[in-house]
Amino acid sequence: MKPNRLHVLTLFLLFVSLSAVLTMGALKRQRAFITRGLPDSLPEPVREGGTRLGINVYLSAYDTAKLEAVLAEIAEMGISYVKQPFYFQESYDWAESDRLVSAVSRHNLMLVPLLDGNPANQFAPPNNPTHFANWAAEFARRYGDQIRYYIIWDEPNLTTHWGNQPVNPLEYAALLTATAEAIRAADSDAVIVAAPLAPTVEEGPQNLADSLYLQELYQAGAAEAFDVVAAKPYGFNTAPDDRRVDMDVLNFSRVILLREVMLANGDGATAVWAGNWGWNSLPANWQGAPSIWGETDETTRANWTIAALERARREWPWMGVMFLENWEPDAAENDPHWGFSIAGRETAVALREWLIQQNPAIAWPGFHLARPDDAAQQFSGGWRFSPEFGADISQSGDRVRFTFWGTDIGLRVRRADFRARLYITVDGQPANALPSDENGTTLVLTSPNKFDDYITTELVARNLSPGIHTLELVASRGWDQWALQGFSVGYRPPNGRYRLAQAGLAILAASTLAMAYYTGRQTSWGAVGKAWSSWFHTLSAGTQWGITTITAVIVALSGWLTWGQQAAGMYRRLGDSTQFILTATAATIFYVTPSFYVYLIALLCLFCLIYFRPVWGLVLIAFCFSFYVPPLPKPIGGYRFSPPEVFTLVTLAATLLSWFSAWRAGQWQRRRPNWHPADWSVLLFVAVVTLTLPFTERLDVATNEWRVVILEPAIFYLLLRFIRPSDREMWWVLDAFVAGGLVVALYGLWQYGFDRDSLITAEGGILRLRAFYGSPNNVALFLGRVWPLLTAMLWLGSPANGRRRWLYGMAFVPVSLAILLTFSKGALFLGLPVAALFIFWHWQREGGRRTWPWVVGTAVLGLLALLILLQIPQLSARLDIRGTTGFFRLNLWQASLNMVREHPVFGVGLDNFLYAYRGRYILDAAWQEPNLNHPHNVLLDFATRIGLAGLLAGGWMIWQAARLLWWHKTAVPRTWLPVTVGLGGALADMLAHGLVDHSFFLVDLAFTFYLILGTAVWLTSSHTTQNISIQ
């Protein structure tokens, strides 16, 4: 077959789609290349971090006059740190050290000593590390008042600095550990800097690459011995913007390899110092040895040196002091080290000018502890300060103004169970990463979980233009909590074009793939299909083994399945009553017995009974919708599982095995139902909710709610659809649902009469029924779904409904009384009136009577009854819709809208509302009620939990149920009219009561909704035109 145009077009579209995907990957890699080394989020505190310029000096080469002149010139440039080597000897001459330390101190410079080995023996490590440690300890005792930092050894990863013998990280780790302990014993404030590691690409044994050597130090357990890691990021022959980071590349960016080793070992809070860095610029007429560090001209070196400082300050908040190599080397005149010297050269002039231009009142990327002596931080009010905890708010209206350079800004704060807010603006505008309350953009310091007490960095503003910005903060409450630890400044290169390109490419890839699918379906691929089929049959041995294994399992089950078919026939001859008794007995024994072996046997028996007739599983599940609240769940293996969860999973497993058995017997085609749009709406909803999980902050609670509220109720729906109960079996499921509601009502009424200590006391001393739920509102929510079905059966039932009409009528009384005693305003003012109006309207229409006079009359009577009840003091406080609850509800909705604005696509996550609301979005006026776990509105509940996509998917499901039930009111036989209208009333109650309370995201409510939807689809597929037996 020759390719036609559709073949060519399809392949072209596939090529375009694949190219778009590959381009997206290339752009992502490019972005990662550009941002490698930058923190992924706001910088956390890094000990001794913050880019500062230092200089390597060799002061022993100078006499006293020259020494004073050199130090004065260095100080005048604005350099604060000088690094000077001191070489270990068994008999050390302290006089020269005294001279150097005193001279540096007189010029107010910070001396950082490099305690190195002995050049006389090629820096060979001492045979006994204690000797070196004792010398270092004496150095610390002698100069500890003037010195804070101690560098231990130099370049131990090179054989030339390890006695010309193979390098040994373990040996250096032992030396470092012993020396650090000795120094800290002599100088408790000492900061230990590990040896600066030389850049090399070798992997041993003589020399070892710096990143590999550092990894071996971590593996040797040396991390506790040092406070700072040191590198030597020489630039060699390339500029500081050479962003290649590779083991085989020597450049300024190589230091990122060391940082990545530190992060891999969980040592991100430790800084990296540049022990030596820079570019070599030998004179044009140089006659000495060539430079092994690369070479450039002096002007370029000056420019690259400034650019390197700028890059480190901007991108590497983990970088600390950078000791430029060097002022002047202590070396022969023909030594290429002179190419690093800056004394009297253009680089020194450039550095002096650059340092003069630096504004100390601007904070650069990194963490900045809150302290009053930082020029970038201007505090006003009664703040208190601590070098450990930062700043403490007073009661005097404290403020702070913080000036920084960057693109992102955050605050490091303490969060706990206390009331405090920080109102923040950036450049006079609301902070763009914070929600707003009635007073402005705010950071709530109350912890999401009241039992938590922790320090965290909270993002305040993001995606600012790279440059100088000003944050202004006003504190509200939170005194004596040491709430503000400091400020975190971040920088990320602008990514607007990158995101736009990725979005465009994603759209292009998806659209061309869809078009390729469409065009591909329009033509024949016979020859191509045969080729693919031929390839598929040439499977590997492993694949063939997998198929053999599956076949063996099927064969192993065959005997049991054959017996199962025979046993199922015997079981069916027992009759409905006996089957029900057996199933209920097995379920009861499983639930009540504490013995593991007994309830395991009961569970196996239950599995077999449901296998023989899966509809009994549906009946059990429907009866147990509300039995999920503690302490009702069943303890199994150290965990607790609710009856609806256990029965759903058992029914699923038994039904799947039953279907497999039917397929094996060739009966599957008879059982397979046709797919309905409602089925697709359920699958879409589950898929959308599942996609939100990776974007949820607290995944543990989200996955739990996903399991019990999203997945398992959806499984119940699919079981109801696929089991395809008969008309009589469907009545059993609905009867079980009503019976479960009746149990809740009767238990609550018993509690109201005989166990008043278990009741909830509300405003005015009113006692509210709660049954075994934690809240009376939950009782009203569930019974509000049962009540319409009972009411519809009373009003619309016919003689064809037989005893069921009167039994439902008897259940109507305790269920109605239980709802009334919950004193749920959402049920009494919204849910039940709307459901009753819906049922009443149908009842009137069914009788050919006008509806509106009765509606008006009922509304007037209801209003009069409300006015009378409001005269009773004990009831007026509870029933007043203008009371405290209404005030909090309005504030809650405003906070929920803020939540949706910040998380429009995926929401904050399943069961994450409480943590987000309490810890971020609660308005100041609503502080007295912080522990709310849902927004008390059906639309906001979907949008905050699972985003706008989830709201649309959930809305489609609800629309499917409403559409089908509305249609069925005229299409079903008279016998099923009470069910259609009753379930429609239950859906109306769900939406009306859901305006101010839960609607879907509770176990019982989710299962109930899927029962409503499943019944509506069942009526569509089986019972819209025929008369139905109700035996």
Q: For residue 411, what is the domain's CATH number?
A: 2.60.120.260
User: Is residue 669 scored above 80 in pLDDT?
Assistant: no
- Taking residue 844's Cβ as centre, other Cβ atoms within 10 Å add up to 17
Count of domains observed in the chain? 4
150 lies in a domain?
yes
Mean pLDDT of 949-969: 91
| Residue 1030 confidence (pLDDT) | 34
Mean pLDDT of 998-1016: 95
Produce one character per residue of 215-240: b if its CB has 16 or more CB atoms within 10 Å, e if not: bbbbebebbebbbbbbbbbbbbebbb
Weakest-pLDDT range from 118-122, 656-660, 713-717: 656-660
Mean pLDDT of 274-279: 96
Residues in the chain: 1031
User: Is residue 1026 scored above 80 in pLDDT?
Assistant: no
User: Is residue 799 scored above 90 in pLDDT?
Assistant: no
Give the H or E element holding residue 314: helix 298-315
C-alpha dist (Å) from residue 424 to 146, 439, 459, 473: 41, 10, 11, 5
Structure tokens that stand for 415 in this block:
């969060």
515 lies in a domain?
no
**Nearest partner of 983 among 1008, 1025, 1012, judged by Cα:** 1012
Q: Is residue 749 domain-shared with residue 643, that is, in the same domain?
A: no
Of residues 593 and 121, the one with the higher pLDDT is: 121
Is the CB of residue 289 less than 8 Å from the CB of residue 336?
yes
518 lies in a domain?
no
pLDDT for 421-449, tens place per residue? 999 999 999 999 999 888 899 999 999 88
**Nearest partner of 652 among 641, 642, 662, 644, judged by Cα:** 644
Whole-number average pLDDT of the chain: 87
Q: Is residue 633 domain-shared with residue 754, that is, in the same domain?
A: no
Q: Is residue 413 domain-shared with residue 289, that is, in the same domain?
A: no
| Residue 560 confidence (pLDDT) | 41
**Nearest partner of 382 among 368, 374, 372, judged by Cα:** 372
Report pTM: 0.78
CA-based radius of gyration for the chain: 38
- Taking residue 252's Cβ as centre, other Cβ atoms within 10 Å add up to 26
418 lies in a domain?
yes
pLDDT for 493-503, tens place per residue? 988 888 899 89
| Residue 1012 confidence (pLDDT) | 96
Q: For residue 296, what is the domain's CATH number?
A: 3.20.20.80
Q: How confident is the model at residue 571 (pLDDT cuts 50, 70, 90)?
A: low
Q: Is residue 908 domain-shared with residue 837, that is, in the same domain?
A: yes
Percent of the chain at pLDDT > 90 equals 63
Alpha-carbon span 232 to 990, nearest angstrom: 68
Q: Is residue 791 domain-shared with residue 927, that is, in the same domain?
A: yes
Q: Is residue 640 domain-shared with residue 708, that is, in the same domain?
A: no
| Residue 90 confidence (pLDDT) | 81
Give the H or E element holding residue 113: strand 110-116
| Residue 867 confidence (pLDDT) | 62
Q: Which of 336, 357, 378 is the last residue before a domain boundary?
A: 357
Greatest mean pLDDT among 45-59, 553-567, 963-977: 45-59
417 lies in a domain?
yes
| Residue 423 confidence (pLDDT) | 95
43 lies in a domain?
no
- Taking residue 414's Cβ as centre, other Cβ atoms within 10 Å add up to 21
User: Is residue 734 scored above 70 in pLDDT?
Assistant: yes
Q: Is residue 155 domain-shared with residue 297, that is, in the same domain?
A: yes
| Residue 558 confidence (pLDDT) | 44
Q: Is residue 742 domain-shared with residue 886, that is, in the same domain?
A: yes
Mean pLDDT of 103-123: 94
Q: Which of 643, 672, 701 is the last residue before a domain boundary?
A: 672
Is the CB of residue 124 less than 8 Å from the CB of residue 163?
yes
Greatest mean pLDDT among 22-36, 184-198, 971-985: 184-198
Mean pLDDT of 561-565: 44
Is the CB of residue 749 less than 8 Å from the CB of residue 821?
yes
Residues spanned by the domain of 238: 52-357
| Residue 546 confidence (pLDDT) | 52
Alpha-carbon span 211 to 157, nearest angstrom: 10
Mean pLDDT of 403-407: 97
Give the H or E element holding residue 683: helix 677-692
Alpha-carbon span 272 to 258, nearest angstrom: 8
Q: Which of 490, 522, 557 is the last residue before a domain boundary?
A: 490
Of residues 606 and 317, the one with the higher pLDDT is: 317
Percent of the chain at pLDDT > 70 equals 88
495 lies in a domain?
no
Q: Is residue 353 domain-shared with residue 432, that is, in the same domain?
A: no
pLDDT for 37-67, tens place per residue? 999 999 999 999 999 999 999 999 999 999 9
1029 lies in a domain?
no
Q: Is residue 346 domain-shared with residue 371, that is, in the same domain?
A: no
User: Is residue 871 scored above 70 in pLDDT?
Assistant: no
Structure tokens that stand for 456 in this block:
């965290």
Q: Is residue 766 domain-shared with residue 835, that is, in the same domain?
A: yes
| Residue 630 confidence (pLDDT) | 81
Q: How confident is the model at residue 367 (pLDDT cuts 50, 70, 90)?
A: very high
**Nearest partner of 37 among 208, 235, 230, 263, judged by Cα:** 263
Is the CB of residue 490 less than 8 Å from the CB of residue 411?
no
Mean pLDDT of 707-721: 94
Mean pLDDT of 318-342: 94
Q: How confident is the model at residue 271 (pLDDT cuts 50, 70, 90)?
A: very high
Mean pLDDT of 952-973: 88
Q: Is residue 715 domain-shared with residue 859, that is, in the same domain?
A: yes
- Taking residue 475's Cβ as centre, other Cβ atoms within 10 Å add up to 25
